[in-house]
Amino acid sequence: MEFDTSQKPRGLKRIYFAFKHSMRGLKWLARNESAFRQEVVLLAITLMVIFNIEISLYEKVAMLCATLFVMFAEIINTAIEATIDRVSFEIHPLSGLAKDLGSAGVLVSLIVFMCVWGSCLYSNFLAT
């Protein structure tokens, strides 16, 4: 079976299908990836924090974006893992490297998250 690029939907229909596929992916992540579920909890905590503490709008947006960045990295990491597993379950150094690099991306996103949160909280609570 081959994908026919000439029959791709356009306009609002394309947006509808893109949204539908994205929701299917998010549902799959929520059911199958414990790391993603933990990051959903992190997002809920982020929303509670940014709506209940007195910080600037810029800091609230930065904290929310840092949290979403962690979730984004996890989604990409999971996509890499699924692709590698689709190609082969055989143990291969390049497959391991691809999965390790995806994991490293998540680690970098968590470091960004901690830097953003640390600087926002430090400037508002510890510096006063």
Is 90 among the residues known to form the active site?
Answer: no
Rounded distance between C-alpha atoms, residue 58 and residue 39, angstroms:
22
Rounded distance between C-alpha atoms, residue 34 and residue 78, angstroms:
11
Rounded distance between C-alpha atoms, residue 17 and residue 122, angstroms:
43
CA 100 from centre of chain? 17
Half-sphere exposure in the Cβ direction for 51 (13 Å, CA)? 6
- Find the catalytic residue in 2, 39, 74, 81: 74
Catalytic site positions: 74
